[in-house]
Amino acid sequence: MKKFSSETNGYNRKEVNKFLSEIMKETENLTEKYKEQEQSIKELQRELERFKKKRLAGNENEETSQIILNAKQDASEIINDALKQAEEVENQRRLLERNMRIFKKKLKLIIEQQHIIVDKIDELEIQE
């Protein structure tokens, strides 16, 4: 606490005025510093908001990238499953085709044998 020298009508006016002047200057300096800091805080808050938005956008981009990656993986699995099914169907088609050829050969053989039998029956009828 500041002490002032005394005069007949109270404290020394020059000392008090000087002190008040110093207080005013200090108050002005503090006020100016406060305004600068307040401005700095506002700028930092705006920068923080921009950063948050970028980060959000980055997160959205990450999420989008992850969704796309998952979709590509799902699509790849679906394609692989479809290729496996197509391969199985192709194998079944080949097996059926092979079985059909075998069946036709056997049927032709049976028909030929039946034809031979019919021819022999005809020969026997002619001989009688």
Would you report the helix, strand and coil content of the chain in percent, each value rounded to 5?
90, 5, 5
Query: For residue 118, what are its two tokens?
Result: 């019919």
80 DSSP 8-state letter? H
Report the pLDDT value the prediction gives residue 92, as an integer from 0 to 100: 92
Q: Measured between alpha carbons, how far is 106 from 6 in angstroms, rounded to an integer?
A: 139
Q: Measured between alpha carbons, how far is 79 from 60 in angstroms, rounded to an integer?
A: 28
Per-residue pLDDT of the chain (128 residues; tens, 9 = 90+): 677 677 777 777 788 888 888 899 999 999 999 999 999 999 999 999 888 888 777 777 788 888 888 898 989 889 988 999 999 999 899 999 998 989 999 999 999 999 999 988 988 888 76
Reduced to 3 states, what is the DSSP secondary structure of residue 128?
A: coil
pTM, full prediction? 0.43
Report the pLDDT value the prediction gives residue 4, as an integer from 0 to 100: 64
Torsion angle defined by CA atoms of residues 56, 61, 64 and 70, in that order, rounded to the nearest 10 degrees: -120
Helix ranges (H only) for the chain are 13-127
